[in-house]
Chains A and B, each alone.
Chain A
Amino acid sequence: MKKFIYKATIITLPVLILLLLVNYFGDAARLFDSDYEKQMAKIVASNKYVTNIENYDERLFQKELISDKNIQPNLVIIGSSRTMLINSDLFPSALLFNNSVSGASIEDIVSIYELYKFNKKSPQKIIIGIDPWTFNENNGQKRWQSISAYYYSFQNTINQENTTYFKYKELFSFSYFQSSLKMIPCFIAGNANPKSTKETHNLLATKLTDGSFVYGEQYRNANQIEIDNKINSYLTGGIYSIEAFDNISVRILNEFEKLIIDMKENGIEIEFFLAPYAPVVYDKIQKKYPMVLKSEEMINDFASSNNIKLYGSFNPYILGMDKTYFYDGMHCKEVGIEMIIKN
């Protein structure tokens, strides 16, 4: 028995140590490097662009930005990666800041709004990017948990989630190991930190001083064949966050209404923005995802009954957009966004 335990330990211990070391030092999602988002925010707040950014916690980055005294916008964009490209050139008369985060759920929108309130710098106007998955209870979005304190603060409830537990659970995660292992060369070369730059367009993704986003060179300059492949890949892989969209969530709808009421009570002007899908993706949505169409109808009704201005649509056809307006299946290019806002 002793021999068995000794040998089992000899085999499992090095594996466990390797797992912990790679997850901690490779740290693909920067869970254990709390300075990373601070460094990024510091660069942006000092009026410089930041690049060489990958796999950071976008929510924590927003928290750092909003708490910085140099960030004092009067127009704020809160949405997902589908609104990340909205920049200050499109609203020249406003002091715009884009606080969009990838895969934004209602909890993200609420938390970011609450962060502005908490820092006593509520803007005059907020444009909310609404996605088809916003009202889907089964959207699978969990990333908001890193700023969940602000979500619960808005709801006047106590934080039930132990985010520290989730963070340290990742130390033992094999899927986190797979991502972190790829970051080890960067860690060894000491090349993992964000860099300030004067260029808006860089090799890797860049965040501009207005919080908007510019894709890295490879994504930005993909030719139409590569884009078509991305769209096909998107189609066959299942449509992001709406695969189990069975009905419009009453809970989310109530929270959304509460948010709008709170914004209005605080004298904030509200506008909605709906980003389109690539045409073939929308074709599939029409056939397979009726709740997306129902969501858009509901948003339209809500906006008109509450006198809220609405930009865009999930439907690219009514916006006059073909596939050349897209980077992939769900992300519209800058030219398309400009067309939506200007029209």
Chain B
Amino acid sequence: MAAVAQYGAYFAVLVVAAVPLGHYIARVYDGQASLAQRLLGPLERGIYRITGIRLDEEMTAKRYAFCLLAFNLAGALVVYLLQRLQGYLPLNPAHRGGVDPFVAFNTAVSFASNTNWQAYGGETTMSPLTQMAGLTVQNFLSAATGMAVAAALARGFIRRGSGTLGSFWVDLTRGAIYVLLPLSLLFAGLLVSQGVVQTFEGSITVKLVEPQESAAGQTITEQVIPLGPVASQVAIKQLGTNGGGYFNANSAHPFENPTPLSNFLELLAILLIPAALCFTFGSMVKSRRHGWVLFATMVALVIPPLLLCAASEHGGNRALADLGIDQAAGNMEGKEVRFGAFTSALWATVTTAASNGSVNAMHDSFTPLGGLAPMWLMQLGEVAFGGVGSGLYGLLMFAIIAVFIAGLMVGRTPELLGKKLEAYEMKMAALVVLLPSAAVLVGTAIACALPAGRAQVLNPGPHGFSEMLYAFSSAANNNGSAFSGLDATNRFYTLALSLCMLIGRYWVIVFVLAVAGALGRKNAVPVSAGTLPTDTPLFALLLIGTVLLIGALTFIPALALGPVVEHLRLAAVAGGAP
């Protein structure tokens, strides 16, 4: 009951914050956010002056995609070089050497694609310079890229008979300057007030209260505690659905997430912009009801996995039933006491509902069904909230398919927001939905078949299979969380997962922009009584059904061989009836 109150409060606060933010973002992309422009306008104009970006430039879908890809490629290259050369660069107090080329490539792709899959341990691999100039910068830019694509798609719906979608440079700049920067400053401040560290110092060394004997027989008297500009990075990593932690333990680390309140704030930050973008879309297409329908769809997709995860984690580990352990607190392996099972379950579902991927508990140690929930949310294609921008455009691709099927059933050729959907849009939407799923299935199969794939798992039996399935689900859907028992630092995983991340991000973006361009060129069809209304609860149900059905049809066999078998087996080991 207490958990339900917490979940209810969370979604209530989320709505209250997301609605006005969504409308504000719509004004930002329309260049109508007058108050913000008075404050930050000089910065925006200054950027345009130096870079030669023209405010009134109009790009075709092809040009938009080309600029986007070129910009992301350049960004990834910078991250790669920073990692490789950090040994020769300043701001490296711990004198860390260059990163392994495969891990560096994986990390560059991961941060540029808004995945933030971490094949490295944060506090032991990256210099502060790499973290700041490479990773933090990409946290902003990859998020702004996703939002720009969503804005371009919205313009595709609004514009009539137009060949252009706006300027990528302007959308990128506006999203970063007017949305991400102020929110990050705000959240970073709030997080520091809770104890998240923010300093340019490398570490502190403290004297242990109780010196310890190490396994090697040496006496340990000190604890070296790494520090860094953590709050500034955590703020954007949550807001931008990036999820790449400063520390290896990510948001389970007390310096990233010290209190229940900081936890609540970060949870809010994870879904804030993806939720707000629903309302942004409603606002941009001049139909706020559509924004609500998209938002409700997302919430409805998240609630059942959340409850499943919460119930399963709270239920504890049945294999421990005979050991005389009080499991009232639930399954606590890999969890922090200050969060507990319910809050950790909320985080696990929220971070995978959004393509955030930061964790405040170790998913690998979740109960089978508790781990199934986040995996399932990723496999749905990261459309229930999803990444900033990417969740919205992903769900709209599903909406295209849903409208098509529903349109067939009511005997009308499908229309969405006044745009007639034809074979071309269907083809693009099908590819968007298909490719990440294909990457997950095929990637996992290859990992199963190759020794280099099999050898890296930590857990035996079906759980080992889950680790591989989770990794590919996470990468291909740009989430970034992991069943971290899997050691993904070898060549096979760094390359295979990089490929999945590239497909899940850029392949999808190119097709989404193609749809945006095609829609923009069409004239609007007037709404009549026979138009299938797409701003009703009925349509939300249809959309939910479409997302669930496609996800279920694709992943039921794989899930059956991973978490489902493990769950049934756990029930059998515990001696209880399944």
A is bound by B: no
